[in-house]
Structure 1
């Protein structure tokens, strides 16, 4: 292994250790460092074997944090994971990080908070704004309507 390869391995490991990454993000970074083809794939395999790179772990962390911190709904989380190249098994594992009871309660809390900020609206306009807001956060329209119907 050349000194240049060792340096790139070290940099790639550091890049992955800083925060969870996808294989797509690592490939893009390797291209920036002018590492292509088989050499790039060998580095990715090494990162996976050394547990620096784990897409299931990335997906679970991403989904859990976007739900807890940004209070995103499942649709938005799923869409952003797909944009990052996460599909199939890893995507489904990520969605399991969101507990159904917590999910519903978060939606209720979001709608209550938004409702307080929209004082003075007519009931129909208020409901339309709440629905649009919740759907833009990635929540399912059926669930939004069901929660609003309970009020």
Structure 2
């Protein structure tokens, strides 16, 4: 083989190794994204098959566990809880948590997180991560089913 042919073969081998590595990395990323998207979707629409008074203590405990203290709470058909600002380095955040009972035996819980940066820029987002934590603690059977479905979605995404 001539020098240019050797370089060409080496370049092809390097490209194929890169392609396999990059392709499998992309498959893993697609799987992870599909898994998380399914968990987020199901968490966002989850309705507990129990009254809010059974879910509420765990929701409050999650906030305390994450370093937040409760500012006030409302009771009635809509339970509302707001935390004090918690400072983390250069930013601070707080939660507004709402428990809504579509029926007497059902509960929907939304965690809305406000984050304020050092320059007073404020953003507000629904925190599906903490809602997922709540779902795993309160409704383990549904959480397990969601995880199983998420794995099916992840496997399909990595295969494509």
Q: What is the TM-score when the length of structure 1 is the normalising length?
A: 0.23
Q: Which has the higher contact order (CA 8 A, sep 6+)?
A: 2
Would you tell me which structure has more strand in proportion to its own residues?
2
Would you tell me which structure has more helix in proportion to its own residues?
1
